[in-house]
Structure 1
């Protein structure tokens, strides 16, 4: 068997120039796998804007500069505040990038060049550097990328919602999440390439293209068959019954994901609807797609008579995919969901970005950093700046340092 060199992520230094969600979630991903991640924040804005995106229940949110939103993707990092609009600040960032393995950024096209943070500039300083860039619409479109807008322009908002209701935004910034996954994949590929060639490279992901890539069957329904997807609530355009929510006795709701004719027959047996399973109108998935409304009228009253726990147990035993519609507290009643949480003692909780088993983990993650918490230690330890140097830079407002008060 051929042997491959192992990427030791604990040896990686990642400089994160990104903010909000997509780029920072990539930074936390590498932190969870052992990398050292230095988050460079802007002193003119007092850091990442999400530090101030507090939860609806503000009294329960963090009272310091680590909002609940910020905590979703910034565990395991060090925060350094450097003003890249100054030449001295750019020089400091360049020195960090010169010793780094990876730089993550999420600037609008043109802004990175103004700040000396573009891939060409950084890779001239360090040819082995891998630069990961997230844009809204690509290198040639200067528009900023915002998840809600991308959802609309990529077709998600148009398709989402009830048939008789308006287009509806998804409740999670899924376009950012999708772009982050694309960037992670591209960066891992570049790490493999660098092992083979010794050279770094650039990975650029746009929110729009990541979103379009995720349209999957809804896009090919149009591209192949000319079908324009319309709002269907939770229903599936190609499979029935799949995704539709059904109330059960006691006020709960369950969702069915019946993907095969065998599963449908088992469902009907559990519900006492054997004649329905044999009816040509419903016997095959193609027939059920054509007759989804009349089938729904048969399933809905029968499920409304059944207790949630009983019907889910029966469906599980018959290998019919189904589940309960859970609120957020109910989500974290599940052991597998709790395993995804990060809960440093005495610090804000968060969620892991690594959702697969791996031996190469960093162990317990440090809590999300306070703004500028590590400015002095990073610049002293990594760049050799003296305490006098740091004081001068702070006085000149090139850097900011964390105040414990």
Structure 2
């Protein structure tokens, strides 16, 4: 699909991308897939993730390849007058500037929002930080650190706090940055005025913890480690089977009644309602585990799914990609010989396009 000439929703939008590593590059890749022209401005050493391997593919780190398609690379040394002049020219010629340096870094180079907006009134400027530009400006914005101090690890794991298996906070922050940029561009369409878009990893995490955050802010509940369980729904966790783990994600009483009947278990008043099941979750898990161990996961999936009981085996990534393919979701795309994960946004008239592979360093 490389080299597609289809026009995307953001065709004509130019982004000067000073972002590095993951959050900002993910945001700009999403926008690039939707048609924006993204100029990735790198130090001559290159983005840090170019060296984050193994694994490698085609001689490049797959980490870098995962978030940098549809971009062109421009190596610029901001420590030189020539580099600084080139960077300023690119920024002033763009519709959007994206950066995720520590607060104050871009001001040192005269590439901050205020300096550029004084010349370019229509500029949308997105700044991605770890902890904001105020009291947290000096704190390093690493995903693992934010998962820890932001509370995510306190509810993840069974016997000790555990990080999520991917830099999820960075990805969520990139998505929020992309939404903020699109909102600012819509405002500019109406008024001609650009604006500053600020997102930080800690605020994004607190917002993304949704029901857990609301349980604290509204009811004063401070959750602890839950493993694979849900604080408000049961059964909603991982169970053993005869061959491999599977999940049950039973969200209402009707689904539970069908599950209970399919497992041929005796009626039990302890499990009559969802609130009852949450109150007796250990006893419920023991009964379900004993029964589910009697058959393989695939058999339970084939039996329960037609009944409308949400369930499924715990797949590895290979199994997950194959499942998406079997459902016709088209999870991967070929971009000049590189098999990359497809953009998940499906637009009927202006779909995502895959015009360029991740750029090599100049």
Indicate if the aligned counterparts of 2:155 and 2:161 stay in contact, CA closer than 8 A: yes
Cα distance in 2, alignment partners of residues 84 and 112 from structure 1 = 10
1:370 matched to 2:324:
no
> Alpha-carbon deviation of 1:365?
2.8
SS in 1 for 2:57: coil
- Of 334, 353, 357, the residue aligned with 2:347 is 357
Aligned to 1:270: 262
Q: Could you say what secondary structure the match of 1:169 adopts?
A: coil
**2:332 is the counterpart of 1:341:** yes
Give the SS at the match of 1:281: helix
Contact 1:25/1:74 (<8 A) preserved: yes
Q: TM-score, normalised by structure 2?
A: 0.93
- What aligned pairs does 1:182-197 form with structure 2 within 5 A after superposition? 182-197=176-191
Shift of the alpha carbon at 1:313?
1.9
Structure 2: distance between partners of 1:343 and 1:188: 27
TM-superposed deviation, 1:354:
4.2
Shift of 1:338: 6.4
1:29·1:354 contact (CA, 8 Å) conserved in 2?
A: no
After TM superposition, the structure 1 = structure 2 runs for residues 239-388 of structure 1, keeping only pairs within 5 Å, are: 239-242=233-236, 244-249=237-242, 251-273=243-265, 275-276=266-267, 279-334=268-323, 335=325, 339-346=330-337, 348-361=338-351, 363-372=353-362
What is the rounded CA distance, in whole Å, between the counterparts of 1:122 and 1:216 in structure 2? 36
Q: Residues of 2 paired with 1:185 and 1:148: CA distance?
A: 23
1:262 aligned counterpart, secondary structure:
helix
**Highest CA radius of gyration, 1 or 2?**
1
Deviations 1:203-246 (A, max 9, x none): 0000100011011111222222222211111000100001x111
Look up the match of 2:155: 159
Q: SS state of the match for residue 223, structure 2?
A: coil
Q: Could you list the per-position Cα deviations for residues 68-111 of structure 1 after superposition, in whole angstroms to 9, with x for gaps in the alignment?
A: 00011000100000111222211111111222111110010111
- The SS at the match of 1:39 is strand
Partner of 1:54: 53
Q: Does the 8 Å contact 1:73/1:351 carry over to 2?
A: no
Q: Structure 1 CA distance, aligned partners of 2:155 and 2:346?
A: 30
The aligned counterpart of 1:238 is 232
**Distance verdict in 2 for CA 1:122–1:215, change over 3 Å:** same
Q: Give 5+ residue unaligned stretches, structure 2.
A: 1-6
Q: Is the 8 A contact 2:297 2:312 kept in 1?
A: no
The Cα of 1:120 is off from its aligned counterpart by 1.0
Provide closer, same or farther for how the CA distance between residues 225 and 337 of structure 1 changes in structure 2, counting only shifts above 3 A: farther
Partners in 1 of 2:345 and 2:222 — Cα distance?
Answer: 34
Q: Does structure 2 conserve the Cα–Cα contact (< 8 Å) formed by 1:16 and 1:39?
A: yes
Q: Aligned partners of 1:252 and 1:115: how far apart in 2?
A: 55
Q: Structure 1 residues 314 and 280, CA, compared in 2 at 3 Å: closer, same or farther?
A: same
- Could you tell me how far apart the structure 2 residues matched to 1:254 and 1:71 are? 32
How far apart, in 1, do the equivalents of 2:349 and 2:84 lie? Answer: 37
Decide whether the 8 Å contact of 1:73 with 1:350 is kept in 2.
no
In the TM superposition, 1:174-185 aligns within 5 A as 174-185=168-179
Q: Cα gap change, 1:182/1:337 in structure 2, threshold over 3 Å: closer, same or farther?
A: farther
Provide the residue aligned with 2:4 in structure 1: none
Task: Determine the structure 2 residue equivalent to 1:13.
Answer: 14
Select the residue among 143, 150, 169 that pairs with 1:147: 143
Shift of 1:50: 0.1
Give the length in aligned residue pairs: 352
Asked if 1 retains the 8 angstrom alpha-carbon contact of 2:8 and 2:352, the reply is no
User: 1:71 matched to which residue of 2?
Assistant: 65
Q: CA deviation at 1:177?
A: 0.9
What does residue 392 of structure 1 align with?
A: none
Using the size of structure 1 for normalisation, the TM-score is 0.83
Q: Does 1:102 align with 2:96?
A: yes
RMSD: 1.7
Residue ranges of structure 1 left out of the alignment (5+ in a row): 1-5, 373-405
Distance 2:345 2:305 in 1: 24
